[in-house]
Amino acid sequence: MLDPSLSSELLIGKLRESGVKDERVLEAFRKVPRHLFVDNPVQAYDDIALSIGYGQTISQPTLVAQMTELLNLGKDQKILEIGTGSGFQTAILSQFSRRVFTIERHKELGDKARLRLREMGYANVTFKVGDGTCGWRQYSPFDRIIVTAGAPVTPESLSNQLAVGGIMVIPTGDKAMQELMVYTKTENGLESRSEGAVVFVPLIGQHGWKE
Ligand code: SAM
């Protein structure tokens, strides 16, 4: 790996080339050192998904940036993330928001991410190990919901926990390929659009894929 800050700048160049325009998203990538979220830092700043163990991955940086941009984040929002994984996306979200709630179904990954983010000083994140397909009713409604694993359909349990005016980004489709769906909740219900094809590990749980 080159010097991390140089590697990070090269990655940010790739994010720009891929169409990411929001300077706040690019700045968040500058601040979060991706090499501290992976076991082998050599490829940490390549624009690829990497294994984090347990058959799971830290998502491709361009996808993390695209999903963050689609959330159109503002300062005082409450965000729910499903699929903590390494905690990298969580750390990016925490740069923007008042409070981030994140759920991971693998205890080992959830615990590791919690420790990592605590050590790095991210104080506005609340962690839970459990089935994120049920959401986190205690803290709902959320201004933003981001799901970083592929669901067969959008769980109603999650759309019910989205605030009016809120945005949810979620990949839905079959196990091999999904569409990146963006939902906006209005007084009259959910408006949706697709942002194209993506590939994620499956969202497993009561309102997702069965194990
Ligand atoms: N955003 C993560 C990062 O930056 O490292 C990558 C997430 S990885 C692509 C998807 C994660 O979703 C995996 O860690 C997986 O265990 C988790 N997952 C799958 N189903 C879940 C569920 N029902 N609830 C919570 N987490 C789930």
Beta bridge partners of 48: none
Please provide residue 145's backbone torsions phi and psi, each rounded to the nearest 5 degrees. -130, 130
Rounded to the nearest integer, the mean pLDDT of the chain is: 97
**For 21-33, what is each residue's pLDDT tens digit?**
999 999 999 999 9
Q: What are phi and psi of 193, to 5 degrees?
A: -150, 160
SS (H, E, C) the chain: CCCHHHHHHHHHHHHHHCCCCCHHHHHHHHHCCHHHHCCCHHHCCCCCCEEEECCEEECCHHHHHHHHHHCCCCCCCEEEEECCCCCHHHHHHHCCCCEEEEEECCHHHHHHHHHHHHHCCCCCEEEEECCHHHCCHHHCCEEEEEECCEECCCCHHHHCCEEEEEEEEEEEECCCCEEEEEEEEECCEEEEEEEEEECCCECECCCCECC
pLDDT at 169: 99
Structure tokens at 177: 């390929």
Give pLDDT, residue 2: 67
199 vs 2, residue with greater confidence: 199
Query: Can you give the pLDDT at residue 40?
Result: 85
Classify each residue of 113-128 as buried b or exposed e, where b means 16 or more C-beta atoms within 10 Å of its C-beta.
Answer: bbebbeeeebeebebb
Distance (angstroms) between ligand 1 centre and the Cα of 187 equals: 30
Per-residue model confidence (pLDDT) at position 99: 97
Residues framing ligand 1 (Cβ under 6 A): 56-59, 82-83, 85-86, 88-89, 103-106, 109, 131-133, 148-149, 200-201, 203-205, 208
> What type of residue sits at position 200?
F
Distance CA(163)–CA(156), nearest Å, equals: 13
Q: Indicate the pTM of the whole model.
A: 0.97
Locate the ligand 1 atom nearest the alpha carbon of residue 133 and give its number: 23
Distance 82 CA to ligand 1 centre (A): 6
Share of the chain above pLDDT 70, in %: 99
**How do residues 122-164 score in pLDDT, each as one tens digit?**
999 999 999 999 999 999 999 999 999 999 999 999 999 999 9
pLDDT for res 211:
87
> CA of 126: how far to CAs of 24, 65, 100, 102, 171, in Å?
22, 22, 6, 6, 23
> What confidence category does residue 57 fall into, taking pLDDT thresholds of 50, 70 and 90?
very high
36 has a pLDDT exceeding 80 = yes
Q: Please report which confidence band the pLDDT of residue 98 belongs to, taking 50, 70 and 90 as the band edges.
A: confident
Q: Which domains does the chain have, with CATH numbers?
A: 63-198 (3.40.50.150)
Q: How many CB atoms lie within 10 A of CB 83?
A: 23
| The amino acid at 95 | Q
The percent of residues above 90 in pLDDT, for the chain, comes to 94
Check residue 1 and give its pLDDT. 59
